[in-house]
Amino acid sequence: MRMTDTSDLWWKTAVVYCLDVETFMDWNDDGIGDLEGLAQRMDHLAELGITCLWLMPFYPTPDRDDGYDITDFYGVDPRLGHHGDLVEIIRTAHDRGMRVIVDLVVNHTSDKHPWFRSARASKTSPYRSFYIWRDEPPADPAPTVFPGEETGVWQLDEKTNQYYLHSFYKHQPDLNVENPRVREEIAKVMGFWLELGISGFRVDAVPFLIEPSVAAEQRGEEYGDPHDYLRSLRAFLGRRTGDGILLGEVNLPHAEQVEYFGGDDGNELTMQFDFVSMQALYLSLARSDARPLATALAGRPPVSRGSQWANFLRNHDEVTLDKLSEDERQEVFDAFAPDEQQRVFDRGITRRLPTMLDGDPRRIRMAYSLMFSMPGTPVLFYGEEIGMGENLDAGGRESVRTPMQWTSGKNGGFSTAAPSRLPAPVVDDGFSPEHVNVADQRNDPDSLLHFMRVLVRRYRDSTEIGWGDLTVLDQPESSVLAHCVTGAQGQMIAVHNFASHAVSVPITVPRLDSDGSSDTSDAVGARLVDLLESGETEVAADGTAELAVSGYGYRWLRVVRSGDKRLT
């Protein structure tokens, strides 16, 4: 299908908030976050301005991989609540103008899933073909995703004396998505949750989900176009709900990501995380040089009108740096993860942004201002709105999956249970609840939480960010990123300074109907009106303006031309 109707493309201007129920709020004080606790904190999200809530896996699980090892795709982990509690969350979210999306994790199951228990019990099991088996591992197996934790992707099952494929941990056997019965089950899973009122899915590890089947290769068969399956999932979603989304985790170069959108047709993934720009942003922060990020943004390929990039600074995994060169990655490590304990898998950082930036409020706010101003949809990980840190003692990727910090009290107000019963240790350094929490920041106009609320409001007011086209503006200062977003409603220019010293920035305002050409005649007499503070700058007769930007400073400016009636 070709996307032409844009009336229901709510994701183009959404603000997404990702949380793990287990670590968000414990309401029954058993030490584990629960759905009732989340319901009690929905007003916090509404006040922040969140419009889409992304729930990490809440399904039944042995919990060996933060819930991504699932034993029942249709269930709710009883530690967190039940289906009635989840429906109440969805209703409460809708009452507050929020949609809800959930994780779709169908590349693999837990090895405790009934399907796999049956499959490994006998070669004649009806579920044997739900997984991928072979007598011997291939001569050139794919590398493990988790170096240092797994030695390979094939595991011997001693009962049947065959090897099964596990692209991730060995307790997560890969599903054989080529099998029509598996595809039918995946469709049923999607249909079930859609009927409960969710608005789509964050699709886990998409390239692993659709890559050419090992089972087909073994039989010497042609697998066909793997993207046919993504197109079928999107079509199914469209039939069941006209405006549902598939937000894909596709950590690939930009040119390859376009294929996962479905090219010009936009009939595969609705949205994708921009891993390339995220990694370039950290390189720019490490160098105090905007050019790596400017290059990445300028290199974003055009996508269909209904497709969208998702911008983020960190997620629930490590800050992966795998798309940087080895030397570039080392630069970022040296700047933000000098201790080996702060790194994982030789490619990523297990810290949150505020600790990487030594708690410098100027740099922290500049980074979030930049994320919200980049064309696309911003995605926040819980705790980012208050500047939470990490607890490295939790180890690896668990370091950032600590309990949400609500107050300065016991366990940060997350739970009154004994600390030993919590799903993870609370942060205990300068970013502990004593110093960083929602209650203290809620009514403090100088707090990060207040600043994030302002960013969300300005982003929502500036629809060109979600809908417009990007032009990276030439700059003589290497520390400055200036970009313009042009949409049907007008233009916004954002300027961000990666250096500690103040700069004077020359700006040439692009034409409304151009893709960044030097013809600026329609900007004569225009004004650049600040959106994050009061003030405005006149545009000269040649369409240029000079802007002062402080060290680690940031400015959002609406281009207001004669006769423009838009509120600023």
Using one digit for the tens of pLDDT, what is the confidence trace for 191-213?
999 999 999 999 999 999 987 55
Q: pLDDT band at 214, cuts 50/70/90? A: very low
Output DSSP code: residue 47.
H
Q: How crowded is residue 297: how many other Cβ atoms within 10 Å of its Cβ?
A: 23
Q: Which of 249, 268, 317, 390 is catalytic?
A: 249
Beta strands 377-381 and 52-55: pairing type? unpaired
Residue 1: pLDDT over 60: no
Residue 489: pLDDT over 90: no
Residue 221: pLDDT over 70: no
User: End-to-end alpha-carbon separation of the chain, Å?
Assistant: 37
Nearest to 5 by CA among 238, 274, 260, 271: 238
Q: pLDDT band at 148, cuts 50/70/90? A: confident
Cα–Cα distance for residue pair 298/243, rounded to 1 Å:
29
Mean local confidence (pLDDT), 9-22: 97
Q: pLDDT band at 272, cuts 50/70/90? A: very high
Strand partners, 483: 472, 494
Q: How crowded is residue 513: how many other Cβ atoms within 10 Å of its Cβ?
A: 9
Residue 412 neighbours by CB under 8 Å, 6+ apart:
403, 404, 405, 406, 426, 427, 432, 433, 437
Cα–Cα distance for residue pair 348/322, rounded to 1 Å:
7
Nearest to 323 by CA among 396, 397, 255, 252: 252
Residue 150: pLDDT over 60: yes
| Averaged confidence pLDDT in the chain | 93
Mean local confidence (pLDDT), 362-380: 98
Mean local confidence (pLDDT), 313-323: 96
Mean local confidence (pLDDT), 222-247: 91
Q: Give the pLDDT confidence of 63-89 residue by residue, as tens digits.
A: 999 999 999 999 999 999 999 999 999
Cα–Cα distance for residue pair 494/556, rounded to 1 Å:
5
Nearest to 300 by CA among 263, 274, 325, 324: 274
Q: pLDDT band at 564, cuts 50/70/90? A: confident
Segments of the chain assigned to CATH 3.90.400.10:
114-165
Find where tokens 């922040």 sit: 48
Q: Determine the 3-state secondary structure of 398 from DSSP.
A: helix
Burial of residue 334 (CB within 10 Å: 0-12, 13-18, 19+) is exposed
Superfamily of domain 114-165: Oligo-1,6-glucosidase; Domain 2 (3.90.400.10)
Q: How crowded is residue 429: how many other Cβ atoms within 10 Å of its Cβ?
A: 11
Length of the chain in terms of residues written: 568
User: Is the distance from CB of 427 to CB of 389 less than 8 angstroms?
Assistant: yes
Q: What angle do CA 324, 345, 133 make, to 5 degrees?
A: 110
Residue 308: pLDDT over 50: yes
pLDDT of residue 8: 83
Query: Which conformational region is residue 79 in: left (phi greater than 0), alpha (psi within -120 to 50 degrees), or beta?
Result: alpha
Residue 513: pLDDT over 90: no
Active site residue 149: no
pLDDT of residue 514: 52
Q: How crowded is residue 184: how many other Cβ atoms within 10 Å of its Cβ?
A: 10
pLDDT of residue 523: 77
Residue 322: pLDDT over 60: yes
pLDDT of residue 412: 98
Report the Cα 275 to chain-centroid distance in Å.
Answer: 9
Mean local confidence (pLDDT), 135-158: 91
Taking each continuous run of H as one helix and of E as one strand, the counts in the chain are 17, 22
Cα–Cα distance for residue pair 272/266, rounded to 1 Å:
12
pLDDT of residue 512: 81
Find where tokens 């390979």 sit: 152
Active site residue 204: yes
User: Is the distance from CB of 526 to CB of 395 less than 8 angstroms?
Assistant: no
Cα–Cα distance for residue pair 344/440, rounded to 1 Å:
33
Q: Which has more pLDDT, 93 or 148?
A: 93
Does an H or E element contain 121, and which?
helix 114-121
Q: Which of 204, 328, 384, 398 is catalytic?
A: 204
What percent of the chain has pLDDT above 70?
94
pLDDT of residue 567: 66
Residue 508: pLDDT over 50: yes
Nearest to 166 by CA among 180, 177, 179, 155: 155
In CATH terms, is domain 465-560 a member of 2.60.40.1180? yes
Q: pLDDT band at 217, cuts 50/70/90? A: low
Q: pLDDT band at 7, cuts 50/70/90? A: low
pLDDT of residue 520: 54
Residue 219: pLDDT over 70: no
Cα–Cα distance for residue pair 281/324, rounded to 1 Å:
11
The two three-digit tokens of residue 385, written as one number: 């709105």
User: Is the distance from CB of 274 to CB of 376 less than 8 angstroms?
Assistant: yes
Segments of the chain assigned to CATH 3.20.20.80:
10-107+178-458
pLDDT of residue 53: 98
Segments of the chain assigned to CATH 2.60.40.1180:
465-560
| DSSP letter string, 240-282 | H-TT-EEEE---S-HHHHHHHHTGGG--S-SEEE-HHHHHHHH
Residue 477 neighbours by CB under 8 Å, 6+ apart:
497, 499, 503, 505
Superfamily of domain 10-107+178-458: Glycosidases (3.20.20.80)
Q: Which has more pLDDT, 337 or 214?
A: 337
Mean local confidence (pLDDT), 355-367: 98
Least confident of 295-299, 430-434, 541-545: 541-545
pLDDT of residue 211: 77
What is the identity of the amino acid at 353? L
Beta strands 308-311 and 271-273: pairing type? parallel
pLDDT of residue 516: 43
What is the identity of the amino acid at 342? Q
Q: Determine the 3-state secondary structure of 106 from DSSP.
A: coil
Sheet holding 469-473, edge to edge: 469-473, 480-487, 490-497, 554-560, 527-530, 536-538
Beta strands 377-381 and 16-19: pairing type? parallel
Report the Cα 224 to chain-centroid distance in Å.
Answer: 30
User: Is the distance from CB of 451 to CB of 443 less than 8 angstroms?
Assistant: no
Mean local confidence (pLDDT), 409-419: 98
- The predicted model scores a pTM of 0.95
Q: pLDDT band at 181, cuts 50/70/90? A: very high
Burial of residue 135 (CB within 10 Å: 0-12, 13-18, 19+) is exposed
Residue 561: pLDDT over 90: no
